[in-house]
Structure formats: C-alpha cells, structure tokens
Amino acid sequence: MERASPWKHEYYQGEIFAMSGAGRRHNFIFTNVFGKLCARLENSPCRPFGSDMRMHVPENTLYTYPDISIYCGDPITTDSDEDTLIQPTIIIEILSESTRNYDRGKKFSRYKDIPTLKEYILIETETIGVDVFRIDTHNNWVKQEYKTLQETVQLPTVDVSLLMKDIYRGTRLVKLVK
C-alpha cells in the first residue's frame, strides 16, 4: 500500500497516520545537515539516509520516516521488505510546529526501544536550537543543548562535528541573530 500511495504514512499498532510535507526552513536545514553528513561519513562504515528511507522498530511495531537516519555497518532490512531498514545508530528529526511535541514525546519514547540507537537529535526550525540525546554508560538518555550559532554539535558515535552556523545556513534565523 505504501509504495502505491503518493503520500508517506506512519504506522503504529494497527493505526495509519498520513505525514505532512516540510516547509522551506525545514528543507534548508535538511540539505545543510544531510550534505555535511554525506561528506563526513564518505569513508566510514556509517551511511546517512533521508526521509524517503522507511524505518521499522520491530520492538514496538512503529513504521516511520525519520528526517535523517544513520546506519552503521551493513544496513539490515525487515524480513518482508528490503526497502525498510531496522537498527539505526542515529536518528535526526527536524522539528516543526505540528511535530515538535510528538517528536519530543511519544516518538522519542518509541525510538528508545531500538537497541542500536545511540543518539537522537532534534533540530528546531522556529529558533536556533539543537538537542542531542545520547545513551550514557549507565544506559540512560542524557540531553545536551546547543543554543548559539558559535557552538559545534558533537556526534561522537560517528565522530562527526556540525557547526551550528552550518546547520542554519540559508535560513532567516541566521539573519535574525546577527
């Protein structure tokens, strides 16, 4: 059904939810982050995928399309669909007014069931702000906040750094801060 549909859907415990499209600022941020990740992970065993790559969380039945997901090693597909990946290492969601609470709450709770997930990154589109959640040595999720264009977002799981000014390049948010 999903392949034949002109829209993407999220599926969770028997319910299907249509996903909305992204705005201009979201697309600028996606392009900036995805481009940097592709370049920096080029000779790495890890590979970034955009929001057209469907992801499944077998532990709780969620099927979804993260804005960006990074898989390390050979990507593992579901038994029934080689176009659907499982076991991401990092998930990045670019927030919008309509998805912010879900991405921070229920969706994050569902992502926590992924045994391979090491980092979950939330990027604001209405203000300058990135929250990075990481698993610590006690298996707890710890949050690190980035709030200024002068900071550098660290992704130690894949040994990548992203300058906040690069993440927000081309958005009107950069002009508002200067």
Q: Where residue 99 sits, what CATH number does that domain have?
A: 3.90.1570.10
Percent of the chain with pLDDT over 70: 85
Asked whether residue 47 is assigned to any structural domain, the reply reads yes
Query: Quick one: average pLDDT of 23-48?
Result: 95
CA dihedral 123, 35, 68, 167 (to 10 degrees): 0
Asked whether residue 2 is assigned to any structural domain, the reply reads no
Terminal CA-CA length for the chain:
47
Q: What is the pTM of this model?
A: 0.88
Query: Quick one: average pLDDT of 21-43?
Result: 91
Provide the β-strand partners of residue 143. Answer: 133
Instruction: Please give the tally of structural domains in the chain.
Output: 1
The pLDDT, as a whole number, for residue 139 is 93
Structure tokens given for 163: 């300058």
Structure tokens given for 121: 């990154």
Asked whether residue 25 is assigned to any structural domain, the reply reads yes
> In this model, does residue 69 exceed pLDDT 90?
yes
Full domain range(s) for residue 23: 9-177
Asked whether residue 3 is assigned to any structural domain, the reply reads no
The pLDDT, as a whole number, for residue 19 is 52
Per DSSP, the three-state class of 100 is helix
The pLDDT, as a whole number, for residue 23 is 75
> In this model, does residue 143 exceed pLDDT 90?
yes
Asked whether residue 27 is assigned to any structural domain, the reply reads yes
Asked whether residue 67 is assigned to any structural domain, the reply reads yes
Confidence band, pLDDT 50/70/90 cuts, at residue 12: very low
Structural element, H or E, at residue 36: helix 24-40
Using alpha carbons only, how large is the chain's radius of gyration in Å? 16
The pLDDT, as a whole number, for residue 148 is 96
Amino acid at 124: E
Asked whether residue 1 is assigned to any structural domain, the reply reads no
Asked whether residue 4 is assigned to any structural domain, the reply reads no
For 107, list phi and psi in degrees, rounded to 5: -65, -45
